[in-house]
Structure 1
Amino acid sequence: MVAFLFAQPGEQDTTGMKKKTPDFKHWDVSTHYGPADTVEFTLTEGTWMNLDVSPDGKEIVFDLLGDIYVIPIEGGEARALTSGLAFDAQPRYSPDGSKISFTSDRGGGDNIWIMNRDGSEPRAVTNEDFRLLNNAVWTPDGQYLIARKHFTSRRSLGAGEMWMYHISGGKGLRLTKRKNDQQDAGEPWVSPDGRYLYFSEDMSGGSTFQYNKDPNKQIYVIRRLDLQTGKLTNYITGAGGAVRPQVSPDGQYLAFVRRIRNKSVLYLHKFETGEQWPIWDQLNKDQQETWAIFGVYPNYNWMPNSREIVIWAKGHIWRVNIHSREAKQIPFVVHARHAIARALRYKQPHVADDYFTARMLRHVVTSPDGQWLVFNAVGHLWKMKLPDGKPVRLTNDSQHFEFEPSFSPDGKWVVYTTWNDTALGAIYKVRLRGGKPQKLTERKGYYYSPRFSPDGLMVVYRRGQGNAILGFAYGVEPGIYWVAADGGQGNLIIEEGRDPYFNKAGDRIYFFTYEGEKKALKSCDLDGHDVRTHFTSQYATQIVVSPDEQWVAFQELFNVYITPYPHTGQPIELSSQSKAIPVKRVSRDAGNYIHWSG
């Protein structure tokens, strides 16, 4: 049951949150910025609720809509322990019951926090601003928390590792190492004697995540790490997988969730004999087929008597007897109050206006003498005399879109790519002073990143294979090519890579590609031979060597950095956090389309 009470229009939030003018350099998640309205409602059920039972068995703490509440073990009116704009979740009682750990973004990103049992004196244990954390559990001595730490690479959702943190803080210690950046691990739990760490991990094979795998075969398994010897074993495996491990207080049983056909079922594993059996099949569907960063099933826990389990399912909290398999509902009532920020509204310009200001410039390049700027805006190329000339069209072409300009070494020509839905793509060049564009490529196709050689006699480019938006016709024989600067037949250099450009001497081609799980800047000769790796990076999305080959610029997580280019004959790891060579961030908020002047 859900009852709503909305504030009257114009009523400001009154939940006690701070309200002030935004400070964009020190944004406070918990601060109330701008106009908002208050909404109040009463809940007797909830979705995907993480819960825990107090060590004395008297209370249940749970999360709901980003706030944390507590109720008596018998159920009843819920009392809020946290409230406000911050998203708080996954509460866990300390072994002595005096503290509660929880996941919160109140510091700007998901970190592990601790508060007193009554909700007072919240403080952060971790302070990550990128590798965020969740699903913390206590060690039996109450001195440490073990949480899932999140890692990303080419795909945003990433994978997890188990990290241990002292309750007083620190950078933490890694306990498990992810096997790749796409198959997840999480849901840690520590045995009552403190010796073993249990957690679930996607062990379905391969090195990439895939949606909608068959959970009735096996996706997740429960793994066990011996905290004395470091030995890691696949502890509970088999059809239907195994997730969300929870050891009973007496150490006799391990509860977990397994998929049986189309149902998620609460199971028991008996340590002494290895027997396993289902005890309750009325759970909500687990998330084994998806990317479950916060857990494949919500947190639950045992009663202190080791005979009952308290768990969320079907919108309610249940108390399940493991012997009789009887489930009793624990009722709760939550009186929730939230501030709803009003949507930003801007007066839109007339879409039919003849002129407007273009605010998105792409593929910006400067002439070798630094006197001219050429860039893409609203589908065409524009040139502008520096420092404050008026932008004018580079060509009069009305039949094609124009992209990716690049100057010839003498600054007299601009080479670029075009697109037309019928003619498809091509590479053209045109004089900077104007004139009729000259087509360089002979075949229809998908063309990218044309660049002149240092002597101006050749142009290197990438020929693509097409995609689901542009189509795949005429996408045969993709790769990096060169063509004479006056046009003609393309000559294949190498089949891999993108963003090609010549080296200083003009006898090799740099290109961006992959090396294992990492990105790499490599080069080869004009026949595609003698491939060398110059730089590798975990997160770079573009790497560009300066024309004099003394510097390198790279983009990492939407910002641009420069660093010296030491010629060592061996691959150099690029990172914004590198300590081996100086690294300087040159973008303020973000940066794209790296181009060296000169």
Structure 2
Amino acid sequence: MPQSRVLGVSSVVSPTFIAATMKHLSLCVLLALASPLSASPAISADAGTTAPPTAVPPWNVNAPPGERSTVQLDVRSGTWMSVDVSPDGKTLLFDLLGDLYTLPIGGGEAKPLTHSMAWEMQARFSPDGKRMVYVSDAGGGDNLWIANADGSQAKALTTEDYQLLNNPAWSPQGDTVIARKHLVGTRSLGSGEIWAFHTGGGKGVQLNEKPNWQKDLGEPAYSPDGRYVYYSRDTTPGKSFTYNKDSNKQIFEIFRLDTQTGDVEALVSGPGGAVRPTPSPDGKYLAFVRRVRNQSTLFLKDLKTGREFAAWAHLERDLQEAWSVHGVYPSMAWLPGSREMVLWAQGKIWRVDPFKHTGIEIPFHIQDTRDVRKAVRFETAVAPDQFQVQQLRWMQVLPQGNRVVYSALGYLFAQNVSGGVAKRLTTRNDAFEFYPSLSRDGKALVFVTWNDKDQGSVRTLDLTTGKETVLTDGPGKYLQPRFSPDGKTVVYVKATGGYLTAPWNAMETGVYTVAAAGGSAPVRIAKDGDAPQFGNRNDVVFVTRQGEKEEVDLFSKLVKIDLADQGRETEIAKSEFVSEFLVSPDGKWLAFTERFHSYVTPLVQSSKPISVGSKMTALPVKQLDVNAAEWLHWAADSSKLYYGLGHQLFSAELKHAFDFVPGAPQELPKPAETGLPIGFVQTADKPSGTIAITGARVVTMRGDEVIANG
């Protein structure tokens, strides 16, 4: 993933990634503000009259908008620096704060090779020393670039826009570069594969396969004869990345791929793991990093005898326990002669003799500048006396179309769609109220309650009298209740507990029906399923079932349960990405949600399930929203759909979606950009009085000052 694009990832990432993020922080803020999300439309009468979009110029990483300023650099140390050495052993090549530098092998003033807003890193000299390959996001994402050794004539070798690249390494012949390609499934910091790219061009050749979608693989390096490719891989059990792994055991191993036979062998294993394989130029040794207790240590492996020994114990901590998209340790290099190495540790560059276990600092000095952009900030009130309630959940519009019911702040409210005062539908304060759903005639509401002590129940509410009726026969975790067309039956889900809720009262989970009048025992009609609903029949229930064959091979299907035929099940529709199906009250249409957008298509009876999705071709399909849609639900007469986004309510008529629907205008309008604002203003819950915490030991921020009894 391009460093200049990703912020706020809730995972541990490399210092390089963090530094790159900070370099581009102000740019990201400006970009977000330059491309705001529209507020998403509602039941507005002027739908389709939105202004034409303003043309947005192509984004240029090196020419961002905003107020420019320059920061002076005067540094003699750096963080997470990749280091290489020229073939003649006279010049070092390294990265610092997103630019590339050269340095005499004896140290001194560093010479900049790049100087731009783009983030450049992990540079490596070509075997003849005339060129270098490095990683840059100048094109919008991390790709491989090749330039002359002095930084001139830079040109992108790869142009990936999703499966981004890092950790390049030259083949001994200098005509090929291998690198790690980043692959993601359901988690952004995924796994890797090794790919080879000819310097003459092309999309690359895959050398190996990712272990799965979450265990990392990378840090490739050629053997001096070009036959083998070394790389590191997370070999901990399972397919999911986990934190808090024990580095005293084995997390990473180093593997060796034979490019002639395709054979792969685990070459370096054992306690402390093994990362950053770096073969010596004479082919006799493999340098690598291993954790010894809490200390990352440089090791050597004799490739003839197999002997492994500690060479230098002063490295920085590697990233074996964390995500390591850009490598588990910064790249290092052997000097010609295969007796010494150059590497980064403790903020410095070191010349290490791994056979004598000694290291000498190579001093460097950088006087340079960095361009930054001023961050855009808006004044935000902290702890205001009142706030606008914007999270309105499970919006339901009454059949007359003039009122809407929803859950907000954990309770049920009703409000005119034209605005006005939102009024609570109940007076309880001992339980939250979720999943409201209206009967087809709009006279009753079914919902669930929840509190942590008594757990939940399914209830109906007569909207005329205010009378509540409990339908369930005991506490549990109840979800998604819906009325049958005649209002006499309610279907709901009984779910398991765990995670944040107690596991008790979770026996016999599944999909249930119960009489809406109460007084009868619920009946389980299926052991699994979500979002149960009725179409045009009282004896047919539809449920959604979802799963995955593997991390990125998902499936979702709509299943019909015929209550009049001993619960016989028939798969009606299937999809890869649909998260919600919604059958119209007349049974003729199918609405669905895919990746937060809402769609509708005719529901055709078929002996085989219909493949449904935003790009389906078997039947006409129409997207209903502009930005996103939640709480999708049908009007009682199946003529339109309603949905919400934040505190806005939207509607979409079928005749405005398809030209074959009776009453459709000659030119179909576009979906509305803005909806009807509903919701209400709530007084903030602020504490009153004063609480004093006494007798505490207070560590202040004033030097080493400690107040013993504060």
TM-score interval (norm. to shorter): 0.7 to 0.9
Does 1:345 pair with 2:398? no
Match of 1:72 among 96, 104, 110: 104
d(CA) in 2 for partners of 1:272, 1:570 = 61
Which letter maps to 1:203? T
* Alignment of structure 1 residues 261-340 onto 2, 5 Å: 261-338=293-370, 339=372
Secondary structure of 1:451's match? strand
- TM-score relative to the length of structure 1: 0.82
Alignment CA distance shift 1:347-1:213 (3 Å): closer
Aligned counterpart for 1:544 among listed residues 581, 587, 603: 581
Tell me what 2:244 maps to.
Answer: 212
Match of 1:425 in 2: 456
Aligned equivalent of 1:137, options 150, 169, 188:
169
Percent identity over the alignment?
A: 40
With over 3 angstroms needed to count, the CA separation of the structure-2 counterparts of 1:596 and 1:145, relative to structure 1, is: farther
| 1:505-545 Cα deviation digits (max 9, x unpaired) | 624532334444343324485799869696464xx472425
Unaligned 5+ segments in structure 2 are 1-23, 25-29, 36-55, 639-710
Q: Residue 254 of structure 1 corresponds to which residue in structure 2? A: 286
Cα-to-partner distance string for 1:183-241 (whole Å, 9 max, x where unaligned): 11111112233322211111122222222222332221111222233222222222322
Deviation readout 1:378-404 (Å, 9 max, x if unpaired): 444455666x56574462445254333
Bigger Rg over Cα:
2
Once residues 191 and 48 of structure 1 are traced to their aligned partners in structure 2, the CA distance between those partners, rounded to angstroms, is 24
Cα distance between partner residues in 1 of 2:250 and 2:287: 18
Give the structure 1 partner of residue 511 of structure 2: 481
Correspondence for 1:245? 277
5 Å-filtered alignment, 1:400-439, equals 400-420=431-451, 423-431=454-462, 435-439=466-470
Aligned to 1:224: 256
**1:287 Cα deviation (Å)?**
1.7
SS at match of 2:204: strand
Shift of the 194–480 alpha-carbon distance from structure 1 to 2, 3 Å rule, reads: same
Q: Distance between the aligned counterparts of 2:184 and 2:449, measured in 1?
A: 34
Distance 1:181 1:549, change over 3 A: farther
Aligned to 2:702: none
Residue equivalent to 2:665: none
Task: Identify if the C-alpha distance between structure 1 residues 352 and 175 changes in structure 2 by more than 3 Å, giving closer, same or farther.
Answer: same
CA-CA distance at 1:300 after TM superposition: 1.0
Alignment partners' CA distance in 2, 1:581 and 1:329? 69
- Cα deviation, residue 296, structure 1: 1.2
- 1:510 aligns to what? 544
Task: Give the Cα–Cα distance (whole angstroms) in 1 for the partners of residues 307 and 182 of structure 2.
Answer: 33
Residue 100 of structure 1 corresponds to: 132
Structure 1 pair 463–554 and aligned structure 2 pair: CA distance change class (3 A): same
Determine if contact 1:189/1:247 at 8 Å carries over to the other structure: yes
Aligned residue in 2 for 1:472: 502
C-alpha distance in 2 between matches for 1:546 and 1:303: 69
| Coordinate RMSD, CA, aligned | 3.9
TM-score (norm: length of structure 2) = 0.70
Higher relative contact order (CA 8 A, sep 6+): 2
Distance 2:607 2:341 in 1: 61
Number of residue equivalences? 574
> Do 1:22 and 1:33's aligned partners in 2 also have CA atoms closer than 8 Å?
no
Give 1:457-468 correspondences, 5 Å limit. 457-466=488-497
* Cα pair distance change 1:463/1:117, threshold 3 Å: farther
> Is 1:89 aligned to 2:137, yes or no?
no
Contact 2:594 2:613 in 1 (8 A): no
Shift of 1:176: 1.9
Output the CA distance in 1 between the equivalents of 2:117 and 2:426: 53
Is the Cα contact below 8 Å between 2:235 and 2:253 reproduced in 1? yes
Shift of 1:308: 1.5
Structure 1 residue 331 displacement after superposition? 0.9
Q: 1:559 to 1:191 in 2, by over 3 A?
A: farther
Which secondary structure does the structure 1 equivalent of 2:554 belong to? strand
Q: Given the superposition, is the C-alpha separation of residues 145 and 544 from structure 1 closer, same or farther in structure 2, using an over 3 Å criterion?
A: farther
> Post-superposition shift, 1:462?
3.2
2:555 matches 1:520: yes
Select 2:179's aligned residue among 144, 147, 168: 147
Provide the C-alpha distance between the structure 2 equivalents of 1:467 and 1:391, rounded to a whole number of angstroms. Answer: 38
Offset of residue 288 of structure 1: 1.5
**Aligned to 2:146, which of 109, 114, 118?**
114
Q: Give distance in 2, aligned partners of 1:90 and 1:133.
A: 11
Task: Flag structure 1 segments of 5+ consecutive residues without an equivalent.
Answer: 1-12, 14-18
- Cα distance change, pair 351–173 in 1 and its aligned pair in 2 (3 A): same
1:330: how far off? 0.9
Q: Using the alignment, how far apart are the partners of 1:74 and 1:581 within structure 2?
A: 71
- Distance in 2, Cα, partners of 1:361 & 1:121: 56
Alpha-carbon distance in 2 for matches of 1:140, 1:450: 66
Conserved in 1, the CA contact under 8 Å of 2:513 and 2:524?
no
1:452 and 2:483 correspond:
yes
Superposed CA offset, 1:38-75 (max 9, x none):
44342212222122222332222222223332222221
The answer on whether the counterparts of 2:532 and 2:542 sit within 8 Å (CA) in structure 1 is no
Q: Which residue of 1 aligns with 2:594?
A: 555
